[in-house]
Amino acid sequence: MTSTVESIAAPGVPGLDEAGRALLFTQARTANAFADTPVGDEQLAAIWELTRWAPTSANLQPLRVTFVRTAQGRERLLPLMNEGNRAKTASAPATAILAVDSRFHQYAPTLLPIRPQLKDALDADESLRATMTSFNGPLQAGYFILAIRAQGLVAGPMAGFDAAGIDAEFYPDGRWKSVLVVNIGHPGENPWFERLPRLDPADVIRWA
């Protein structure tokens, strides 16, 4: 493993090729309409297979995913989306509800065996758990969106939904808490608006 990574990341190697940069970053767009082309469960599982390797604090991986891709599942989800997000969600062959597991630390002894005391420390500190989920949930959501694109699919992330309603409908035991809903599929007709501007790097970057 070590030698493979070293050879990939060695000085002089330019990193991701132009097609990969275009696919994940520079040419990728958020889709608002989807084609009928189906997306199989194995393609959805493959998105997670990429996502899960990217790093999280103390390797604790709090993000959880519900893939909604049946008519019944979509019927449960649609009324809980904001009105402006319903038509596009109805047109997507699959939609991921991203959530955080409020008891993610249950897995700490397996995920970080070098710190066996971590599970009890987190068990006793709900505020620290909340800090960790509120940071690492969105962090992993960022990985997840790029992993959708890495599968040759388009992503349509949406913050406009009834989170309490989704949690009550999909996670009635109260343990998982929804944080983002993401449509997944292939672009349909007129799938995106004109691209919106990005900040001038001079307003974002400082040097020290």
Binding to its own copies (CB under 8 A): which residues in 63-92?
Answer: 63-70, 72-73, 76-77
Quickly count: other Cβ atoms within 10 Å of residue 168's Cβ. 12
Q: What is the largest CA-CA distance in the chain?
A: 54
6 binds its own copies per the rule CB under 8 A = yes
Taking the complex as a whole, the smallest distance from the CB of residue 13 to its own copies amounts, in Å, to 5
**Cβ closest to its own copies, residue 26 vs residue 124:** 26
149 binds its own copies per the rule CB under 8 A = yes
19 binds its own copies per the rule CB under 8 A = yes
Asked if residues 110 and 65 have their Cβ atoms less than 8 Å apart, the reply is no
Q: What angle do CA 152, 81, 188 make, to 5 degrees?
A: 35
* Burial class of 201 by CB neighbour count within 10 A (0 to 12, 13 to 18, 19+): exposed
102 binds its own copies per the rule CB under 8 A = no
9 binds its own copies per the rule CB under 8 A = yes
Q: Which of 54, 78, 90, 163 binds its own copies (CB under 8 A)?
A: 54
Q: Which of 120, 128, 147, 183 binds its own copies (CB under 8 A)?
A: 147
Taking the complex as a whole, the smallest distance from the CB of residue 126 to its own copies amounts, in Å, to 17
40 binds its own copies per the rule CB under 8 A = no
**Cβ closest to its own copies, residue 63 vs residue 92:** 63
41 — phi, psi (to 5°)? -60, -30
Alpha-carbon distance values, 191 to 29, 57, 133, 168, 194 (Å): 9, 36, 32, 31, 10
Q: Which of 33, 50, 78, 163 binds its own copies (CB under 8 A)?
A: 50
Nearest-CA neighbor of 158 among 74, 104, 93, 86?
86
